[in-house]
Amino acid sequence: MAGTGKSTISRTVALSLAKEKRLGASFFFKRGEADRGNMAKFFPTIAADLVRGEPAIARCLKGVIEREPAIFRKAMREQFDKLFLEPLSITPRKQSLVVVVDALDECEQENDVKLMIRLFSQASSLQSVQVKVFLTSRPELPIRLGFKVVEGKYQDLTIHNIPSTVVEHDISVFLQHELASIRGEFNTSVQEYRRLAADWPGQSNIQSLVQMTSPPFIFAATVCRFVNDRRCGNPKEQLGEVLLFRTKSQASQLDATYMPVLNKLIDGVNTKQCDQIFQHFRDIIGSIIILAKPLSTAALGQILRIPINVFHPRFSTLVCIGSITSKAQAITTVTANEFTPS
């Protein structure tokens, strides 16, 4: 299921392993992004990560590249053998290494997906080091077919089959942690009379948010980003706006996630300005949704004939559901698709 926080789990696992010096490498797939939407840079990236974690591997990889300068253009199987298996086979290590691969379903070549699963299943043949692969994905057909071939060599966990009580507890812990951080940051930046109460947001509000979550993580994460966005107002008011949408219907769950953000676009503007904002919204967000590949803000603004000084303020209000970091960089996909079923 989408929106359950698979990528957040991957990032958390990777950070935890890095602290323990057990992270061998990581790769986060993203459909539509040149270097992350396919396997072209996968094993070169894994090899580079291995070198950073195990400098001794550098000597072996240097030898591989000197012998085969074109290795980075070779087929996946050869890259796996030369850039992954060979360096690890001559690097004794007591602790196991973990390779984190996120969102494999975002890889655009289905045959490459199945091949990668088969290749990594061969890592168990290494005698010098124990290598494990932590992988997240939606259960798309190519993924299922790939794992069918390596039956008995993996363990799996289906997130949406986890008991609801466990999910609700985890979301509650996440919300308490994030909102407490927001409270602390807000209170240190304002005068005393504006500070939030020490017990804000309160257990009843946390429970209301937990009951509104569907899909669970994408809702909770979006709410926290919205509540923390100082351009929209103070956290108490922002949370109050979210809690206005307390119903069980799917439409209302979508409303609860996105309407508080979208309402800020027309907050305090007249009818004429509203019409222009609505048109810009349809043009900008509609274009982002149907783009085959992400475009920079400058390029998209030029295509839509929206001046960059107008484009940025329009989109910056939507920072909770999409993001841009500079005029030259691509806009990340808005998260509305996270509500579509797998």
Q: Which amino acid is at 222?
A: T
Please give the average per-residue pLDDT across 230-249, as a whole number. Answer: 78
Looking at residue 336, its pLDDT comes to: 43
Structure-token pair, residue 32 = 């539509």
Give the range among 35-49, 85-99, 272-286, 312-326 with minimum mean pLDDT. 312-326
Strands (E), the chain: 23-28, 97-102, 131-135
* CA nearest neighbour of 101 among 137, 54, 52: 137
Looking at residue 18, its pLDDT comes to: 94
> For 108-121, how does the pLDDT look when each residue is reduced to its tens digit (9 = 90+)?
899 999 999 999 99
Q: What is the dihedral of CA 6, 166, 336, 275, to 10 degrees?
A: -140
Give the range among 74-78, 135-139, 213-217 with minimum mean pLDDT. 213-217
Coil, helix or strand for 102? strand
Coil, helix or strand for 231? coil
DSSP state of 266: G
Check pLDDT > 50 for residue 342: no
Give the integer Cα–Cα distance in Å for 88 and 57.
7
> For 281-336, how does the pLDDT look when each residue is reduced to its tens digit (9 = 90+)?
888 888 887 877 777 778 888 888 888 777 777 666 665 555 554 545 556 554 44
Give the integer Cα–Cα distance in Å for 22 and 14.
9
Please give the average per-residue pLDDT across 231-240, as a whole number. Answer: 85
Looking at residue 329, its pLDDT comes to: 56
Looking at residue 325, its pLDDT comes to: 46
Give the integer Cα–Cα distance in Å for 199 and 236.
12
Structure-token pair, residue 242 = 């979210």
What is the distance of C-alpha 16 from the center of its chain? 17
Residue 206, φ and ψ in degrees, nearest 5 = -60, -45
Contact 300, 311 (CB under 8 A): yes
What is the distance of C-alpha 224 from the center of its chain? 15
Give the integer Cα–Cα distance in Å for 104 and 116.
10
Q: How many helices (H) and strands (E) does the chain have?
A: 15, 3
Give the integer Cα–Cα distance in Å for 310 and 308.
5
Coil, helix or strand for 205? helix
Percentage of the chain modeled with pLDDT above 90: 43
* CA nearest neighbour of 109 among 29, 36, 38: 38
Give the integer Cα–Cα distance in Å for 209 and 238.
13
Highest-scoring range by mean pLDDT, 9-23, 234-248, 288-302, 328-342: 9-23
Q: Facing residues of 26 across strands?
A: 100
Please give the average per-residue pLDDT across 46-58, as a whole number. Answer: 89
Q: What is the DSSP string of 125-181?
A: G-SSS-EEEEE-----HHHHHHHHHTTTS-----GGGS-HHHHHHHHHHHHHHHHHH
* CA nearest neighbour of 238 among 311, 323, 179: 179
Is the pLDDT higher at 48 or at 221? 48
Class level of CATH domain 6-161? alpha beta
Contact 104, 7 (CB under 8 A): no
CA distances from 217 to 180, 197, 257 (A): 17, 26, 11
Which residues, in sequence order, are CB contacts of 30 under 8 Å at separation 6+? 36, 37, 103, 106
Number of Cβ within 10 Å of residue 313's Cβ equals 12
Looking at residue 275, its pLDDT comes to: 86
